Amino acid sequence: MEMLCDEPVSPTGEYFTSSVISVSIIGVLESENPIDDSQTMALLRDLFIPINPRFSSIMVKDQKGVKHWKRVEVKLQDHLNIPTFEEGKSPEYYQQCFTQYLSKIAMEQFPQTRPLWEIHIFKYPTIHARGALVFKLHHSLGDGFSLMGALLSCLQRADDPSVPLSFPALTRNTEIVKKSSGFLHNLSTICCGTVNTLSDFGWSLLKSTFFKDDKSPIRSGEDGVEFRPITITNLAFSLHQIKQIKSNLLVTLNDVICGVIFMGIRMYMQEMSYDSRNADSTALVLLNTRNIAGYKSIPEMIEPDADSPWGNQFAFLHVSVPELTGEESSNPTSFVFKARSTIKRKRNSSAVLLTGKLLDTMRKSRGPEATASYIHSTLKNTSMTISNVIGPVEQMALANQPVKGLYFMVTGVPQSLTITMMSYMGTLRIAVGTEDGQIQAQKFKSCVQKAFDIIFKAAVLPSDPIKAV
């Protein structure tokens, strides 16, 4: 039985379900214990489906071609998948099976005749967990912030379900900087911001239309990359160690993380092709545009005038990957400062707002398909996307089953490399999506790990000898 729903699809939802681009999010919850799936159907029916009407809706077009969400009856069995493999194998064997399974579902498109989500239960022990619950949701349903809020509404604290989960405090850069005051300083700041805005917006416009990143070990530069198999792997870093680097260098956590990732990327490029180690490479960094300091409840998100609305509220920031100059051999922490300088300058502009205005104007004048083509070109012309989501400090549980680990991946983007980050229980999980045949996933992981080890030694253990990059 179909039910009417007057909610229009958001502009970003239209872009992500266009003829040129279809983006999904895969979330992995690693189980500490063997998975008991006896309550699955009841949890989906009573807990997951009621979270938001979009979980029980499909997209339809009206007579004018405008997309709307329409409520339908959800057949839960169509959304639940439990793969089977040979019994009695080692965790290493099942880890390989799990990696291949993630690659398989990453390539599959959602049927348009049912709501755009599905659940996969992997009931075999891997090297990381005793089993895994995998959510695949279409990006038109919402961004990482929205979907994290939905996930949290299904989970409780493992130690005490009556106490709400808590999250790391979102604070501004705590670096001690002496700023002068007065008219001249304010005028200088305004002028600098204006120049940066015009420069960044112009560069982003050119990168989205005419200029492409170089072909390199991390970018094939070919059409149809989004339809090719990918490998999803992940690394885990201690937040305590990252904070040690942050405190010693007087930078932010994001500065440290971006410095490590960018250095690891350049090290991988150097190992694969020395001549291409400093190829022109740009990262699209996703920014949450909500003016908030933490997650909101689902009822608060779906209110008509919510200050933290459900949906897709993010923007792209073009960031050039710093080059390897040789300075890293004697001072590995220089890459953190390079990343800091680049990102700080980008943030001192309003290019993101202008880009949003451009997309809105393009949608109104040329339609969502043309705007989606522009976004597709923006992604295709760059080398990678980087996004992050903040997770809870305490351990979570789903139906009294403790969650050991948590990470996610964005799929369907026309890039050879995608990097996502998520914090949980004092650990930062970095997931890496790499195009098969273009990027060697394990070697890439080892380069990022090596970059972290080198920077940590240089920043926290300066008396130890540092090996050259």
CATH code of the domain covering residue 266: 3.30.559
Half-sphere exposure of 213 (CA within 13 A, CB side): 32
Q: What is the pLDDT of residue 155?
A: 85
Same domain, 214 and 143: no
Q: Which of 203-207, 212-216, 223-227, 253-257 is predicted with the least confidence, judged by mean pLDDT?
A: 203-207
Same-domain check for residues 135 and 273: no
Q: Which among 151-160, 182-191, 249-258 has the top mean pLDDT? A: 249-258
pLDDT at 352: 75
210 and 118 within one domain: no
Residue in the structure block whose two tokens are 């699209």: 284
Instruction: State yes or no: pLDDT of 47 exceeds 50.
Output: yes
| Position 343 confidence tier, pLDDT thresholds 50, 70, 90 | confident
Q: 336 in a domain, yes or no?
A: yes
Q: What whole-number percentage of the chain has pLDDT above 90?
A: 54
Is 53 part of any domain?
Answer: yes
Based on the fold, state whether residues 357 and 259 are members of the same structural domain: yes
> What are the residue ranges of helices labelled H in 407-462?
441-460
At 174, the pLDDT band (50, 70, 90 cuts) reads: very low
Q: How many domains does the chain have?
A: 2
The values of phi and psi at residue 183, to 5°, are -60, -45
Retrieve residue 318's tokens. 């073009």
Q: Are residues 121 and 265 in the same domain?
A: no
Asked whether residue 276 is domain-assigned, the answer is yes
Name the residue with tokens 């790391």. Answer: 168
Task: Tell which wins on pLDDT, 193 or 64.
Answer: 64
**pTM across the whole model:** 0.87
Q: What is the pLDDT of residue 192?
A: 53
pLDDT of residue 190: 47
Q: Are residues 306 and 453 in the same domain?
A: yes
Most confident of 23-27, 60-64, 141-145: 23-27
| φ, ψ at 298 (rounded to 5°) | -60, -45
The residue range of the domain holding 88 is: 11-157
Looking at the structure, tell me whether residues 214 and 139 fall in a common domain.
no
Q: Looking at residue 193, what is its pLDDT?
A: 61
- One domain, residues 148 and 190: no
Residue 75 covered by a domain: yes
Q: Give the mean model confidence (pLDDT) for residues 220-235.
A: 93
**Which range has the worst mean pLDDT, 5-14, 125-134, 357-366, 380-389?**
5-14
What integer pLDDT is reported at residue 2 of this predicted model?
Answer: 43
Give the residue among 215, 352, 224 at the shortest CA–CA distance from 284: 352
Give 402-448 pLDDT, tens digit per residue.
999 999 999 999 999 999 999 999 999 999 999 999 999 999 999 99
Same domain, 266 and 343: yes
**Residue 248 and residue 202 in one domain:** yes
Q: Identify whether 174 is part of a domain.
A: no
Rounded to whole angstroms, the Cα distance separating 21 from 164 reads 37
Q: Which of 201-210, 273-282, 362-371 shows the lowest mean pLDDT across its residues?
A: 201-210
The span from the CA of 132 to the CA of 120, in Å, is: 8
On average, the pLDDT of the chain sits at 84
Q: Rounded to a whole number, what is the distance in angstroms from the first to the last CA of the chain?
A: 63
SS (H, E, C) 342-396: HHHHHHCCCHHHHHHHHHHHHHHHHCHHHHHHHHHHHHHCCCEEEEEECCCCCCE
Mean pLDDT lowest among 280-289, 299-308, 371-380, 432-441: 299-308
Looking up tokens 């958001």 gives 10
Within-domain flag for 413: no
Q: Is the pLDDT of residue 173 over 50?
A: no
Separation between Cα atoms, residue 371 and residue 364, nearest integer Å: 9
Q: Is the pLDDT of residue 185 over 90?
A: no
Whether 368 maps to a domain, the answer reads yes
Check pLDDT > 50 for residue 176. no
pLDDT of residue 357: 82
Which of residues 106, 139, 157 is at a domain's end? 157
Please check whether residue 238 lies inside any domain of the structure.
yes
Q: Are residues 77 and 201 in the same domain?
A: no
Which tokens in the block code for residue 10?
A: 């958001």
- Looking at 157, 175, 195, the residue that finishes a domain is 157
* Same domain as 153, residue 212: no
Count other C-beta atoms under 10 Å from residue 380's C-beta: 21
Residue 410 contacts residue 387 (beta carbons within 8 Å): yes
Q: Across the strands, what pairs with 67?
A: 61
The domain that contains 51 carries what CATH number? 3.30.559.10
455 or 16, greater pLDDT = 455
Instruction: Specify the pLDDT at position 467.
Output: 47
